[in-house]
């Protein structure tokens, strides 16, 4: 399965697995975007990403990490 920017929960779960020691509250959006783009299952246009999309991913990450 490949993910798109709208798959914030699935992306967050993959990021938790890839970066288990990272506090998502301390992550800057440009770095978060690069990490998402680097995920093996991610396949979407970087131009479709914006602050709201990254915020949704970050919030999902925070929610799942608790």
Q: What is the pTM of this model?
A: 0.94
In this structure, what token pair is assigned to residue 59? 């919030």
CA distances (Å), 41 to each of 19, 24, 48, in order? 15, 20, 17
Which residues 6+ apart lie within 8 Å of 8 measured at CB?
Answer: 53, 56, 57, 59, 60
In this structure, what token pair is assigned to residue 11? 């992306």
How does pLDDT run across 5-14, given as a tens digit for each residue?
999 999 999 9
How does pLDDT run across 2-58, given as a tens digit for each residue?
999 999 999 999 999 999 999 999 999 999 999 999 999 999 999 999 999 999 999
Ordered domains of the chain (ranges, CATH): 8-65 (1.10.10.600)
């Amino acid at each position: 399965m490949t993910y798109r920017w709208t798959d914030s929960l699935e992306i967050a779960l993959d990021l938790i697995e890839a970066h288990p020691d990272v506090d998502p509250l301390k992550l800057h959006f440009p770095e978060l975007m690069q990490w998402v783009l680097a995920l093996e299952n991610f396949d979407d246009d970087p131009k479709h990403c914006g602050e709201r999309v990254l915020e949704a991913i970050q919030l999902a990450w925070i929610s799942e990490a608790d």
